[in-house]
Amino acid sequence: MQMQGQKLMAMIGTAVSGLTQPATILSALQDLGRRHVGYGVQDPHYDTVGAALLWTLETGLGPAFTPETRQAWAKTYDLVAGVMKDAAATPSR
């Protein structure tokens, strides 16, 4: 589980870095989403992970986790999860 958490944080870091140029990370996120189907990941799991991420950030950052910060992280995660879910629903080419 710890390794999965590290992988999640690495991918979110990549996504954050690529927000100004989303095309640079789009393919990687799509591939990741398709792989997650094989792991048994379903759409509701993304919501659970998103909620856990926001809780972790809020707990770790305390007062620095402002409403604006929450919104930015939520939008980033929603973008990542949305791309992954869309790719998972689309057959591989």
| C-alpha torsion 35→20→54→46, nearest 10 | -20
Q: What is the mean pLDDT of each run of 10 residues along the chain (93 residues)?
A: 78 76 84 92 94 94 96 91 93 63
The parent domain of residue 28 ranges over: 2-89
* Of 79, 57, 74, residue with least CA distance to 5: 57
Please tell me the pTM assigned to this model.
0.79
The C-alpha atoms of residue 90 and residue 18 are separated, in whole angstroms, by 23
Residue 5 confidence (pLDDT): 76
Task: Specify the number of domains making up the chain.
Answer: 1
Contact 87, 30 (CB under 8 A): yes
User: In CATH, what number is assigned to the domain containing residue 34?
Assistant: 1.10.490.10
